[in-house]
């Protein structure tokens, strides 16, 4: 399993890389087929965000679905601990789902599987997709951002799935919406998080 640690406008010292590697060795027990884990550090320059100015994003790649977690804190060590805690919860959920499918039992409902999830933090979130990942990421300084500009495009191969599977994938990456190809209707659709533990579905009319 490869662990790649990088910083966005942040220098990552060797001792922190070693700390990350030591911490992440423990998550391998949830998925023996893990191929790579990407860890990205980001610093929020806004002085008003000093209590959670350091963000850590962790993305796990394996033969199964991509699992992602992120967290913010006053320092990178606390943010890492929080992100790993979220990651372990999602990896455990994915492992439980694999065991259920192998045993041919009825899968746990989305409501039951997500009952323990905390509500998303204001201003933190994004979207995952089976066809295209949409992320609110800008590589330019804040003063040069213009809302009408397309600053990033990303495309992934799509695989038809049910609404239930799309909701499960959305929870694994910790996003607020997920674009997918509906297996039943054959239409591009989006599942998204509403208030509490409710969800919505948007589809394109034929």
- Range list of β-strands (E), 19-163: 34-43, 54-62, 67-73, 127-129
Q: Is 73 helix (H, G, I), strand (E, B) or coil?
A: strand
> The domain that contains 39 carries what CATH number?
3.30.160.100
The reply to whether 44 and 138 lie within a common domain is: no
Boundary of a domain, candidates 64, 83, 107: 107
Same domain, 78 and 154: no
Residues 85 and 60 in one domain: yes
What 3-state DSSP class applies to 38?
Answer: strand
Q: How many domains does the chain have?
A: 2
pLDDT in tens, 99-130: 765 544 444 444 554 455 444 443 334 444 44
* Shared domain check, 99 and 183: no
Closest CA to 58 of 101, 90, 97, 33: 90
pLDDT tens per residue, range 132-167:
333 333 344 444 445 567 767 777 667 888 888 888
The model's pTM is 0.54
Alpha helices, H only, 48-179: 76-103, 110-113, 163-173
């Amino acid at each position: 399993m490869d662990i790649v640690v990088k910083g966005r406008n942040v220098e990552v010292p060797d001792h922190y890389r070693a700390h990350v590697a030591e911490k992440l060795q423990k998550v391998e027990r949830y998925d023996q087929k893990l191929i790579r884990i990407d860890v990205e550090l980001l610093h929020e320059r806004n002085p008003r965000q000093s209590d959670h100015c350091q963000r850590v994003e962790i993305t796990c790649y394996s033969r199964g679905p991509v699992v992602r977690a992120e967290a913010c804190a006053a320092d990178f060590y606390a943010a890492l601990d929080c992100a790993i805690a979220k990651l372990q919860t999602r990896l455990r959920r994915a492992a439980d789902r694999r065991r259920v499918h192998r045993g041919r039992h009825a899968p746990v409902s989305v409501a039951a599987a997500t009952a323990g999830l905390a509500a998303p933090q204001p201003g933190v979130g994004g979207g995952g997709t089976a066809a295209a990942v949409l992320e609110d990421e800008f590589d330019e300084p804040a003063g040069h951002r213009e809302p009408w500009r397309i600053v990033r495009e990303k495309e992934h191969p799509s695989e038809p799935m049910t609404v239930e599977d799309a909701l499960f994938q959305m929870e694994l990456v910790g996003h607020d919406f997920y674009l997918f190809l509906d297996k039943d209707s054959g239409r591009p659709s989006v599942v998204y998080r509403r208030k509490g533990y409710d969800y919505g579905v948007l589809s394109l009319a034929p």
